[in-house]
């Protein structure tokens, strides 16, 4: 198991390098010029100097290697310095955003908590809703509950988050006025009132994403439970007189959870992608919104870094899902 994990970890390095190269080359085709916003009266040689100052004067491969070094070598050093108060990164060039002229990672760190709160919470809520629904609809297959559950999950799966989000805003913000339609990130939670306000503004985005996630996971949970409910060991467990509760919630559930857990792990990075849209709907200034503004502002280093962070998340969670599957299912041996 350990050798498998290490092998996969080592293998993910070339994958990530290749992905970063793909993203880099794609962005290389960008027509925009970062000095286009400067006045036309600037002499060409000054413009050239400006471009060099942004790190654009050099050939392709040099810039790519520089980006790799900055991302994988300098930025971790900054992190270490920040945590331990050391000075490894002193005087080294960090990844700089063209938009704000400040280090990209600092902005990402600023934006991360909002995304993690909204997206993370919604994923947890989604999973918590999905599991009981999936279990119950499989156990009572073709019952009314199953029919409704399957329909609702199909609905949640089909209705795009940008419509559910807007619909909720129409109903709960415009008509009823219960929840604010805009997520206020400047809110500091230090009292009971603030906490309630924070809760109120989180309800809608969390619900939208949770519904979408729950729909997918409950479908998997139901299918996986159905696969297991007809197995021989279930009959055996019933035959030896175990209570129905123990049969379903211990024997069947444990076996059906194996594929579902990996699906849950695989879904985490997709949630960050989906959050791009939900953040836009509710004006949460998280990572997704940062990406959209960076794309609109032609801020290539920012786009490159953010897209690559998403890629890292995907590769990482694929790895976690594979390892988890091996850990949970003793029939699978990777060695």
Distances (CA, A) of 324 to 101, 128, 132, 311: 41, 19, 22, 20
Assess 23 for contact with other proteins (CB under 8 A). yes
Options 48-56, 95-103, 134-142, 291-299: segment touching other proteins (CB under 8 A): 291-299
Residue with tokens 């008509």: 175
Of 217, 220, 198, which Cα lies nearest the Cα of 209?
A: 217
User: CA angle 281-101-314, nearest 5°?
Assistant: 50
| Residue partners of 220: CB distance under 8 A and separation at least 6 | 134, 259, 260, 263
Other residues' Cβ atoms within 10 Å of the Cβ of residue 102: 12
Q: Using CB under 8 A as the criterion, what x/- string covers residues 223-262 for binding other proteins?
A: ----------------------------------------
Minimal distance, residue 158 CB to other proteins, in Å: 4
In whole angstroms, how close is the CB of 100 to other proteins at the nearest point?
Answer: 19
Task: Examine residue 155 and tell whether it contacts other proteins (CB under 8 A).
Answer: yes
How far apart (Å, rounded) are the C-alpha atoms in residues 42 and 36? 11
DSSP states of 146-175: HHHHHHHHHHHHHS-HHHHHHHHIIIIIII
Q: What is the three-class DSSP state of 103? A: strand
Pick 112 or 159: Cβ nearer other proteins: 159
d(CA 256, CA 315): 25
State the nearest-atom distance from the C-beta of 293 to other proteins, in Å. Answer: 11
By the rule CB under 8 A, 285 interacts with other proteins: no
Can you give the C-alpha Rg of the chain in angstroms?
Answer: 25
User: According to CB under 8 A, which one of 57, 76, 113, 273 is a site residue for other proteins?
Assistant: 273
What's the token pair of residue 83? 């945590």
How many residues sit in the footprint of other proteins (CB under 8 A)? 45
Closer CB to other proteins, 174 or 188, in the complex: 174
Cα 4 from Cα 322, distance rounded (Å): 10
Binding mask 49-68 toward other proteins (x if CB under 8 A, else -) reads: --------------------
Single out the residue of 27, 79, 96, 324 in contact with other proteins (rule: CB under 8 A). 27
Q: Which of 68, 116, 121, 166 contacts other proteins by CB under 8 A?
A: 166
d(C-alpha 173, C-alpha 8), whole Å = 47
Q: CB under 8 A: which stretch of 69-77, 246-254, 271-279, 322-330 binds other proteins?
A: 271-279
17 binds other proteins (CB under 8 A): no
Cβ closer to other proteins: 198 or 280?
280
Which residues of the shown chain bind other proteins in the complex (CB under 8 A)? 15, 18-19, 22-23, 26-27, 29-31, 154-155, 157-160, 162-163, 166-167, 169-170, 174-175, 181, 269, 273-274, 276-277, 280, 291-292, 295-296, 298, 303, 306-307, 310-311, 313-315, 318
């Amino acid at each position: 198991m350990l050798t498998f994990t290490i092998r996969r970890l080592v293998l993910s390095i070339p994958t990530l390098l290749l992905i970063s190269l793909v993203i880099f080359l794609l962005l290389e085709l960008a027509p925009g010029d970062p000095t286009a916003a400067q006045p036309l009266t600037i002499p060409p040689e000054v413009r050239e100097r400006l471009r060099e100052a942004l790190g654009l004067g050099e050939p392709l491969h040099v810039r790519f290697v520089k980006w790799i070094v900055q991302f994988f070598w300098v930025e971790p050093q900054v992190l270490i310095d920040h945590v331990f108060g050391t000075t490894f990164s002193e005087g080294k060039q960090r990844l700089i955003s063209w938009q704000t002229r400040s280090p990209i990672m600092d902005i990402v760190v600023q934006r991360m908590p909002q995304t993690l709160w909204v997206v993370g919470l919604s994923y947890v809520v989604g999973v918590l809703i999905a599991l009981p629904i999936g279990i119950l609809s499989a156990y009572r297959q073709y019952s009314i509950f199953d029919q409704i559950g399957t329909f609702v999950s199909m609905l949640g799966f089909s209705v795009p988050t940008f419509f559910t989000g807007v619909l909720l805003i129409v109903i709960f913000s415009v008509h009823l006025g219960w929840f604010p339609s805009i997520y206020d990130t400047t809110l500091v939670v230090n009292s009971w009132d603030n906490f309630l306000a924070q809760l109120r503004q989180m309800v809608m985005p969390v619900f939208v994403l949770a519904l979408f996630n729950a729909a997918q996971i409950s479908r998997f949970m139901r299918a996986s439970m159905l696969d297991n409910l007809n197995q021989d060991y279930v009959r055996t467990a019933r035959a030896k007189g175990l209570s129905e509760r123990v049969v379903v919630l211990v024997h069947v559930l444990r076996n059906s959870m194996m594929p579902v857990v990996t699906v849950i792990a695989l879904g985490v990075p997709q949630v960050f992608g989906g959050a791009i849209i939900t953040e836009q709907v509710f004006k949460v200034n998280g990572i997704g919104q940062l990406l959209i503004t960076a794309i609109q502002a032609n801020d290539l280093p920012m786009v490159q870094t953010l897209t690559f962070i998403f890629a890292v998340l995907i590769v990482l969670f694929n790895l976690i899902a594979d390892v988890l599957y091996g850990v949970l299912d003793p029939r699978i041996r990777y060695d």
